[in-house]
Homo-oligomer: A and B are copies of this chain.
Amino acid sequence: MNTTNHQFRLARRPVGAVQRADFDYVAEPLREPAEGEVLVRLEYVSLDPAMRGWMNESKESYMPPVAIGEVMRAIAVGRVVASNNAGFAVGDHVSGLLGVQEYAYSTGQGLTKVNPALAPLPLFLGALGMPGLTAYFGLLEVGQPKEGETVVVSGAAGAVGMVVGQIAKIKGARVVGIAGGADKCRYLVEELGFDAAIDYKSEDVGRALKQHAPNGVDVYFDNVGGDILDAVLGKLAHGARIVICGAISQYNNTTAVKGPSNYLQLLVKRATMRGVMVADYYPRAMEAITAMGGWIAAGRLKTREDVVAGLETFPDTFAKLFSGANNGKLVLKVAP
């Protein structure tokens, strides 16, 4: 067993896009877990857009920011290598907020056992993890698509978006994805069965929606904010539901977030805009995992992981989320 733990600690608050110098890459000696603790060797670290928000000083957020000097917060999955906690045995696989590091100590609070026989480990960070639950409950509880309705999702080739679109198809909706680039758009239509895809990098989103959602957008699941949110607001159907899940186009802003200029369409179209916060649904996680596990097994829900090897690549790999260079759920492979 190694005796050293490598970690990324937040060195300063990033301004705009994250840089290598925003973090210290630190080596720390490992110790035995204290009474009640387990020591987890991380295998995969989840890279999620929300992490960018956790790096900011913010009073009005749903979680305290990561403190300067603290290990960067991240969800990860790993294996218990030493246990001083009766609830976890050496060899157990677990997931939780274990941080961007090779090893993590945990009291067991917030730690969930996962069964690697059920699915490859990265899936517990994607479709069967936080992004999947976000997609499932955000779409079904907040968006509430009905059969035959038109569902539009942005960031459609990302970890949340690809699940949103496929669940919407399973529920009988017509699904239009918005993504960046011809390859992603082809993947959405040809591999995932979306009815249409709009390449926001080469198409006018408003005009394309007119073509692909001629009766208006009934449900919009928004992962990106900015101009795309405005374009969709301009094409709502009567009684539309807009699920606000994120705004990746705005997370690196050095100026104020761009609010949706077209928000008065909520009035014209009697529409609702509501936020979804996945943590609210954690008590119902098994419901979603059971449903999605079934769909995955039946080949109705496809998953895609973008696995990048090497903890030390963290800052650069994380940046792929914002350039759109990732394909599907982005994870760092930590253990060799």
Contacts and interface: CB of A to CB of B under 8 A. Distances in A.
Contacts of A61: 268
A334 B250 CA distance: 51
Interface string A234-261: 1000000000111100100000111111
Interface stretch (A92-100, A156-164, A271-279): A271-279
Dominant SS among interface residues on chain A: loop
A266 B242 CA distance: 11
Interface of A: 60-62, 225, 230, 234, 244-247, 250, 256-277, 280
A18 to B, nearest CB: 19
A267 B277 contact: yes
B257 A244 contact: no
Nearest to A234: B60
B280 A267 contact: no
A264 B251 CA distance: 11
A89 B164 CA distance: 59
Contacts of A274: 266, 270-273
Contacts of A259: 230, 258-263
Contact of A261 (B60, B256, B262, B268): B256
A274 to B, nearest CB: 5
Closest A-B pairs by Cβ, 10 of them: A259-B259, A267-B275, A266-B275, A259-B261, A259-B260, A273-B273, A272-B274, A256-B261, A62-B268, A257-B261
